[in-house]
Every structure is written in C-alpha cells, then in structure tokens.
Amino acid sequence: MSTYEWEQLREHLPAWLEESRQHHVHGNVASYIPELSKAPRDALGIYIMDGKGQSISAGDCGLSFTLQSISKVFTLILALMDNGEEVVFSKVGMEPTGDRFNSMLKLELVEPGIPFNPLINAGAIAISSLIAGNSTEEKFTRILQFFKLLTQNDTLVFDEDTYASESATGHLNRSLAYFLTEKGILRGKVEDVLEVYFRHCAITVNCSDLARMALILAYNGYDPVAGVPLIPRRYVQIAKTFMTTCGMYDASGQFAIQVGLPAKSGVSGGILSMVPGRYGIGVIGPALNRMGNSTTGVHLLETISQSLDWSMF
C-alpha cells in the first residue's frame, strides 16, 4: 500500500464507513432464503489487503456470512481448471442478461438456450455440474479445498442451516435445473447438482477471507503473500471480465461507472472487489438494494474509489 493511500485510509475509513452505514435504511436483508433474514440490517464491515499481506479494516469486518453468489466466481474458475474453456463455454455464454439473477426468461427465448453467463443462477448451476469428482461429496470437498487454499483458511466450512433453508425453499433454482437437464446442459442428477450448488453458496467467510480471495484475482492468480501461483492467468482474466460485466447484476454498468473495479456481490450482503495489481477487498453489509446488491457496501466502495481515484477506467 502506498504510504499516501495507507494514511488516507487510516484517517478516513472509519468515518466513510459510518456514513455509508446510514444507508442501510434504504435496503432490506434478503428473506427468500429464510435463514438469511437473521442478519443484522445495519452491519457494515470492510477489509483491504495488499500484496505484502498488510491490511486495514473497519466496522463489522469480523461478521461471518455465507458467500452466496460470490462463490460462483470461484466455482467458474475451478470448472475452467477441470474442463478447459471449450467445454465450459459450450454450457454457458459470455453475456449479461438484463434480467434478475434467478430469471428463466431468456433460457427459452434466446437460442442456443444455454444460460447467458456463469454468474446468474442458471449458469452457476450448470457450472456446478462441471466440477470434477465421482460423487456429490467429492465435488463439494474439492470446491471447499480450493476455497481453503485461496483464503489460506483451513477452518472454512459451509453453514448447515443456510444450506437446509435454501434447499427447502429453492423451488425456482430447482425449476432452472430441471429445465437445463431437459436441454442436455446439466451433467448428472438434478438433486445432486443442486446439493453441490446450495452447499457452495452456504460456505461461510468473513471480510478478511473475501479480501484474501480477491487479492489472488488482483494478482492474476498468483498469491503474492504466500508467493505461489494458484490459478492460470487466463482463467482469472475470464473471471474478472465477468465480474466487470455481470458481477453486480443489473447494476454492473452503474457500478463500473461509479466505482470502476471488478466486483461480485451475494444476497447475504457480501461484496468481493479488488484494485487490480494492488489490493483485495472484502465487504459485508446485509441490507440489499432493489438490484440485490449491498446498499451500504456499494456506497462505501463508491466513496473510497472516488476519494482515492481507484477506477480502472
């Protein structure tokens, strides 16, 4: 971290965070997965890590939360590592949808009938079916191991209650998965694929885990703290591009203009972002805006990026 930025963050981050926290009144905690509704609506935390492993944090950055859609970036990377680009892009496209993340509208409407991208639910479910392994257990264990490697956190687990809550209420995801099976896109049994998907969405992290995962993307697949390459550069490039075009769903364009950094949000209120070549960033703010992104988290990232001129564009 440059001395100037470090000092700016040290001086201003707590106040920027408290100002952004006020915006929780404009959002609501997700409740379509009943377990998520227990999250504190006014929580907000951030953790920023640089390539030397130095960090700065503020607010409720110790709060645990489930990755939800943030996990989709990393299952995509694992599926690419397991199968290569040709196989992956025969099952999912490369374009934003302009629809809700769980919409099935375009699946039937637009040929060739594959999900538009791997970050919407239909695409991520198709990706879950591409993870190598002889059983559901083995596939999920491989995902968890990969996430442990990226976070350097050997204690990562998935939250049984959130998993059970989503599995019991995930009718829309089930219908997407059956539709994809009918179209020949899904490999394996629907319920097995959904179990892998629901479980990886329920992996529990905190802001420092998110920042650590983001740091590896910021350094093109190289872990600058441990000094080891973890992901081929090409697959990180693909993941970061999807984060920029679709990572914040229908607000991805607005986020690119206001913040200008690759990012991925989840319905638990997490946002993983990064300053390429420099920092990994993890944010949690459970109150979501209309688009399904953390309202406080987006506000805080806008404030920091505009104050420190972090936009890539």
Binding site for ligand DON (CB under 6 A): 68-69, 101-102, 121, 166, 173, 201, 265-267, 292
Contact predicate 113/175, CB 8 Å: no
**Of 47, 235, 249, 279, which one is the catalytic site residue?**
249
Closest-by-Cβ residue to ligand DON is 69
Residues near 143 by beta carbon (within 8 Å), at least 6 away in sequence = 71, 74, 75, 78, 131, 196, 199, 200, 203
Q: Which of 313, 223, 309, 205 is nearest to 264 (CA)?
A: 205
Contact predicate 24/287, CB 8 Å: yes
Residue 121 vs 136, nearer CB to ligand DON: 121
Residue 69 vs 136, nearer CB to ligand DON: 69
**Of 20, 72, 193, 259, which one is the catalytic site residue?**
72
Residue 166 vs 302, nearer CB to ligand DON: 166
Coil vs helix vs strand at 88: helix
The minimum distance between CB 121 and ligand DON, in angstroms, equals 5
Q: Which of 231, 201, 205, 202 is nearest to 216 (CA)?
A: 231
The minimum distance between CB 40 and ligand DON, in angstroms, equals 18
Per the annotation, the verdict on 249 as an active-site residue is: yes
**Of 57, 69, 128, 273, which one is the catalytic site residue?**
69
The minimum distance between CB 102 and ligand DON, in angstroms, equals 5
Residue 52 vs 171, nearer CB to ligand DON: 171
Residue 45 vs 292, nearer CB to ligand DON: 292
CA–CA distance, 247 with 6 (Å, rounded to integer): 27
Per the annotation, the verdict on 110 as an active-site residue is: no
Residues near 43 by beta carbon (within 8 Å), at least 6 away in sequence = 59, 60, 63, 269, 284, 285, 286
The minimum distance between CB 232 and ligand DON, in angstroms, equals 26
Dihedral class, residue 292 (left if φ above 0, else alpha if ψ from -120 to 50, else beta): left
Residue whose structure tokens are 């040709």: 86
The minimum distance between CB 172 and ligand DON, in angstroms, equals 8
Contact predicate 205/266, CB 8 Å: no
Per the annotation, the verdict on 87 as an active-site residue is: no
**Of 225, 267, 283, 298, which one is the catalytic site residue?**
267
The CB density around residue 188, as the number of other CB atoms within 10 Å, is 17
Residue 101 vs 235, nearer CB to ligand DON: 101
The minimum distance between CB 162 and ligand DON, in angstroms, equals 9
* Number of residues that make up the chain: 313
Per the annotation, the verdict on 72 as an active-site residue is: yes
The minimum distance between CB 218 and ligand DON, in angstroms, equals 21
**Of 197, 219, 222, 279, which one is the catalytic site residue?**
197
CA–CA distance, 129 with 193 (Å, rounded to integer): 5
Q: Residue 148 class from Cβ within 10 Å (0-12 exposed, 13-18 middle, 19+ buried)?
A: middle
Residue 102 vs 258, nearer CB to ligand DON: 102
Instruction: Tell me which residues are annotated as active site.
Output: 69, 72, 197, 249, 267
